[in-house]
Amino acid sequence: MLHCLSFSLAFLGRFFVIVLSVVVLVVPTLLSAQNRGSGQQARPDDRRVTRVLGGLEMTAADSAVKTVVDRLDFDSYKEIIRGLTEFGDREQGTERNRQAIDWIEAQLRSWGYETARIYYEYTPRGATEAYPREEVYATKVGSEVPGEMYIIGGHMDGRGGGEAANDNGSGTALVMEIARVLASSDVRTARSVRFALWNNEETGLNGSRAYVEQRSPLQGIEEPAGSGRYPEPTWLGMIQHDMMLWDHGNPVTFNQALDADVDIEFQLASEKADESAVLALKLLNANRMFATDYPAAMSNAMSNTDSGSFQDLVASVSLRENRRLYETGNRANPHWHQPTDLFVTFSDADFRLGFNAAQTTLGAVARLVDARIVGER
């Protein structure tokens, strides 16, 4: 997460109030409209479960998504975070960063993915020399429309001299746990999903910017022609995950706050603000339907994370434990970029917040790419 505040807080604040009003006034209407629209008559095999906000009946389509979301495993999520923290803070340019990239790639391959890397050059601020850097990604190829995709991302680099468990082992592991679930041979998606583990976020989003620069012009091109292969499927949306565990209020309390939530943000001052707001709303709805413990909230001041590299090109949102400008930026998390950002710092109530964000993202994306369980594994 970056330090620079490049927007006027007053400006954003005014619009935040407006969007908050829209969320408060319009979202319940949209939710009930969606419920009416897709509900029709409940069929005998429809599941009815009460989730965090309760009361929403599941349609057959919802139940199909839920069977996919239910494959997410809390212990697996924690174990991936623990694995990442073994490489310390994974600061860009270090051996522990390079080893972590190899480890992430090995995990993705062990689940059956082909992986690829982005190679780019990074010039530190004030320096004249450029240094080679890399980052890894993998793709679940769609069975019907492989040439279109959603990108699910998190930055794997960290800082602070600890283990960067929360910032951003938690978001990296979330992306990898969703990749693990979708890798299963009996899970089919109509459209493609790409899992991107950005490097150099902490130095200025250099890894995600390099991806956009290199890959944006390749969107939707079949290569070789007639092969049915699309090295860069057309982007439908980008969902970033950055600091997923700690919502202990401000002033900070020892335990997870009673009103802890997953913050879904888009950037009002971006070219794709309208499309991003719609994507954020889909995530909010998915949280209500599929998250087991924590609700979500939506706001319009997404900032200082890799989704910013995409926000003028495609619908882009970030999920976080705290709103970046109003909470994280005001020290809502005392472990942010500190040596205390360790695996052992966090409790299961904290890890569960990140896990609920995984349920939220997979619930929304599964619907968007038409993910379903087919046949036997």
Binding site for Zn ion (CB under 5 A): 1, 167-168, 242
- Contacts with 143 (C-beta within 8 Å, 6 or more apart), sequence order: 188, 189, 190
Closest to Zn ion by CB, 65 or 178: 178
Q: Kindly write down the DSSP assignment for every residue of 162-176, as one continuous string.
A: S--IIIIIHHHHHHH
- Please tell me whether residue 343 adopts helix, strand or coil conformation: helix
Nearest CB to Zn ion, comparing residues 59 and 168 = 168
The beta strands (E) that lie in the chain are given as 115-122, 131-140, 145-155, 187-189, 191-198, 234-241, 262-265, 296-299, 316-320, 371-373
Q: How far is the CB of 304 from Zn ion (least distance, A)?
A: 8
Cβ 238 to Zn ion, closest distance in Å? Answer: 16
Least separation in angstroms between CB 243 and Zn ion: 5
- In the bound state with Zn ion, the residue whose beta carbon lies nearer, of 174 and 368, is 174
DSSP characters for 89-155?
Answer: T--TTSHHHHHHHHHHHHHHHHTT--EEEEEEEE--TT-S--EEEEEEEEEE--SSEEEEEEEEEEE
Q: Which lies closer to Zn ion via its Cβ, residue 71 or residue 90? A: 90
Residue 318 beta carbon to Zn ion: minimum distance, rounded to whole angstroms: 10
Return the number of the residue (91 or 242) whose C-beta is nearest Zn ion. Answer: 242
Measured from the CB of residue 202, what is the shortest distance to Zn ion in angstroms? 7
Judged by beta carbon, residue 242 or residue 265, the one nearer Zn ion is 242
Measured CA to CA, the distance from residue 186 to residue 1 in angstroms comes to 36
Is the CB of residue 257 less than 8 Å from the CB of residue 294?
no
Q: Report, in Å, the least distance between residue 173 CB and Zn ion.
A: 13
Q: Give residue number: closest CB to Zn ion.
A: 1
What is the number of other CB atoms lying within 10 angstroms of the CB of residue 251? 7
Name residue 259's amino acid.
D
- Distance (Å, rounded) from C-alpha 186 to C-alpha 170? 27
Q: How far is Cα 65 from Cα 60, in angstroms, rounded to an integer?
A: 9
Query: Smaller CB distance to Zn ion: residue 168 or 199?
Result: 168
Q: Which helix (H) or strand (E) holds 282?
A: helix 273-290
Report the residue number, 178 or 319, with the smaller CB distance to Zn ion. 319
Smallest distance from the beta carbon of 281 to Zn ion, in angstroms?
24
Work out how close the CB of 220 gets to Zn ion at its nearest, in angstroms, rounded to a whole number: 30
In angstroms, the first-to-last Cα distance of the chain is: 39
Angle between helix axes 273-290 and 60-69 (nearest 10 degrees) is 80
